[in-house]
Amino acid sequence: MTGEGVLIVGAGQAACHLAGFLRDEGYGGPIRLLGAEPHLPYQRPPLSKAYLGASCEAEALTFHGSDHYAERGIELMLSTEAARVDRAERTVVTSGGERYPYGHLVFATGARNRPPVVDAPGVLGLRTLDDATLLREKLALARNVVVVGAGFLGLEFAAVAAARGVGVTVVEAAGSLMARAVSPVVGEAFRDHHEKAGTVFRLGSTMDSVVPLPGGGCRVTAGRERFDADLVVSSIGVVPNVELARDAGLPVQGGIVVDEWLRTEDPAISAIGDCAAFERPSGAGRGRIESVQNAMDQARYVARRIAGRDDAYAAVPWFWSDQGGLKLQIAGLAAETDQTVVRGDVGGRRFSAFRFRAGELTAVESVARPADHMTARRLFAAGARVTAAQAGDEGFDLKALPATV
């Protein structure tokens, strides 16, 4: 790498940790973080859980206090949006016109909410601390909410709202919960769990219109049904922030395209976290992974690579979601699976769904079974072979399976 150090665009989960990991690896050059948000870097998962439920405050979400960055020689520039990359000059230009040189540039720009199907006043999204603060205030006054989208975030929001005694209706286009990510048996278990908390589901349904009501709130139309709500939350997925890379002439394919070393086509530029499209494990193909694990492992890897290591990136994907006291943990990636085997007690909502493709285990979804989750992560890391019969047999000790790598 030439001089000018490492410039990281973004100051979220991946960016903030990359800066720290670089110092941990002994990197002594300049490190600069450009972050569009005004807040000290913070963790997002509690935004839809403890913070939304008012059981923690914003200060508890920051990764570090303000002194930490200066102490570690990390220049943190908040409210600073990178607007353009000049690859010939190895410079990033901000929206305010400042120019920052780089020896190595890392995109850690994350993703933003997909615009709501109906973009009306009163339809809100949840991605940033500011979004969560607004939703928290509104939720405290709401009697009825409509959530559009039964993915992880929408369901976490629904669980917090229902726990506060708010009437919750979830409108979802798919026929099951978290349909893109989990097996039907897990989706059903969570549906049952949310329904017992009072949440009403309208599956196979989409929001058609939102009309303000004279006394406040709005009326949501979904198919033939109408729901009056004080608050509508749209949670229908995200789009990656790829524009900087694309405008700089770098390939973009559902995310910023990176190779097995997480480098873009330009070896002086890497991309990590929610914005990066890489060749994923478990035969899931090129794509992005939106998770804390992915952001952290990719940050750790790129720090080591910049510090001199040259092996390819490899990590077992894992994820968690907390929904009203019920924890879902996923290890691996469930792309195009053809067999699901259950271990444990589905009715008691303590089980794991082992998902196979052509006889190969690709993902394990654990509902209130943390030990299964940890075992699954170890099995994937060790390349252990698990058969469907072994997975479904509670008496079989999966931990005893031999490693192959």
Ligand X SMILES: Cc1cc2nc3c(=O)[nH]c(=O)nc-3n(C[C@H](O)[C@H](O)[C@H](O)COP(=O)(O)OP(=O)(O)OC[C@H]3O[C@@H](n4cnc5c(N)ncnc54)[C@H](O)[C@@H]3O)c2cc1C
Binding site for ligand X (CB under 6 A): 9-15, 34-37, 44-45, 47-48, 81-82, 108-110, 126-127, 153, 241, 244, 273-275, 290-293, 295, 319-321
**Residue closer to ligand X, measured from CB, 24 or 98:** 98
- Output the residue with the shortest Cβ distance to ligand X: 12
Q: How far is CA 95 from CA 12, 16, 188, in A?
A: 19, 21, 47
Indicate the DSSP class of residue 264: -
Q: How far is CA 352 from the centre of its chain?
A: 21
Query: C-beta of 12: minimal distance to ligand X in Å?
Result: 2
Query: C-beta of 130: minimal distance to ligand X in Å?
Result: 10
Query: C-beta of 310: minimal distance to ligand X in Å?
Result: 23
**Residue closer to ligand X, measured from CB, 126 or 341:** 126
What is the Cα–Cα distance from 307 to 246, expressed in whole angstroms? Answer: 27
Gyration radius from the chain CA atoms: 22
**Residue closer to ligand X, measured from CB, 89 or 225:** 89
Query: C-beta of 103: minimal distance to ligand X in Å?
Result: 19
What is the Cα–Cα distance from 24 to 32, expressed in whole angstroms? Answer: 16
**Residue closer to ligand X, measured from CB, 187 or 217:** 187
The DSSP secondary structure of 78-119, one letter per residue, reads -S--EEEEETTTTEEEETTS-EEE-SEEEE---EEEPPPSS-
**Residue closer to ligand X, measured from CB, 127 or 385:** 127
Query: C-beta of 319: minimal distance to ligand X in Å?
Result: 5
**Residue closer to ligand X, measured from CB, 279 or 290:** 290
Query: C-beta of 362: minimal distance to ligand X in Å?
Result: 18
Q: How far is CA 11 from the centre of its chain?
A: 15
Dihedrals φ, ψ of 199, to 5°? -75, 140
- Which strand ranges, in their side-by-side order, compose the sheet holding 99-101? 82-86, 91-94, 99-101
Query: C-beta of 389: minimal distance to ligand X in Å?
Result: 31
Percent helix, strand, coil in the chain (nearest 5)?
25, 30, 45
